[in-house]
Structure 1
């Protein structure tokens, strides 16, 4: 059985994971504030916080990849959120800059679109996962290093 302190620790880490995950999907949000808060108010190692935030954020990006991959078949449906012209322009943009653009999947709004377009473009899962994990982990690492040295 977890002690009360253990429950709070588990809740903190679950909150960080969930916030990181949700902020990387098409839902609005930002995980940086909670990450910075936990670095100042908890006894967690920066490595543990970095791993949890990075994995949660990457899995949120994977959710967007899945949306792009499987919802694309409904592109002709009248309720599809963007027109075929907009989709063609976005896909052309993604192909122009290539899969390496997924290193910027951590950017607000643009990153969500990149992950969705990677799904639409059928970028291989392994390549997608490695590039997105690297980009998102690097962003959190820079943020945490900034906190550590300020």
Structure 2
């Protein structure tokens, strides 16, 4: 059993490509910490264009798992936040999120509101797996769109 873990870690470590670094940056940027993963993804792809799909998938996985952490933080903070949920804006936002349900996590890719949206989905006790699926779809779409747009704007020896 130890052998496959070593092989997996060796595969993911690939220091010349930086996929682990990309994963970590994407993970942290999906939590409530302010960090953007798109520049890391773009830089990696400019240096290693043959890694287009592995890099997109690694960034999506890291960002989705970071969103899951935000969801879990929201789940655990439910009692604390209940004290402050009586403003009109807050009640309208909660009503909208409760009506849409886990599909709202498709918007987790949006700057500023996307990461807190994952936390609020957890706080509202939305089901984890559907939220995770919608997060992954939204984040994959963002990474594909942003990366293709950046590579189109800054071409140079790239093909995927």
| TM-score bracket for the superposition, by shorter chain length | 0.7 to 0.9
SS of residue matched to 1:144: helix
Q: Tell me which of 93, 104, 109 is aligned to 1:106.
A: 109
Question: Post-superposition shift, 1:120?
Answer: 1.2
Cα deviation, residue 17, structure 1:
0.6
From 66, 71, 79, the counterpart of 1:73: 79
User: Aligned match of 1:138 in 108, 132, 141?
Assistant: 141
| 1:58 is aligned to 2:92 | no
Q: Point out 4+ residue stretches in structure 1 off by more than 6 angstroms.
A: none
Residue 67 of structure 1: how far off its partner (Å): 0.6
Identify unmatched segments of 5+ residues in structure 2.
Answer: 1-12, 156-160
CA 97–45 in structure 1, closer or farther in 2 if over 3 Å, else same: same
Name the residue aligned to 2:32. Answer: 26
Segments of structure 1 that go 5 or more residues without pairing to the other structure are 1-5, 78-82
- 1:133 aligned counterpart, secondary structure: helix
Between stretches 63-72 and 35-44, larger displacement belongs to 35-44
Whether the aligned pair in 1 keeps the contact of 2:74 and 2:123 (CA below 8 Å) is: yes
Shifted more, 120-129 versus 54-63: the winner is: 120-129
Partners of 1:38 and 1:75 in 2: how far apart?
A: 39
TM-score (norm 1): 0.81
Give, in whole Å, the separation in 2 of the partners of 1:45 and 1:76: 45
TM-score (norm 2): 0.77
Q: For the residues of structure 2 that align with 1:93 and 1:65, how far apart are their CA atoms?
A: 17
CA RMSD of aligned residues (A): 2.3
**Are positions 1:37 and 2:40 aligned together?**
no
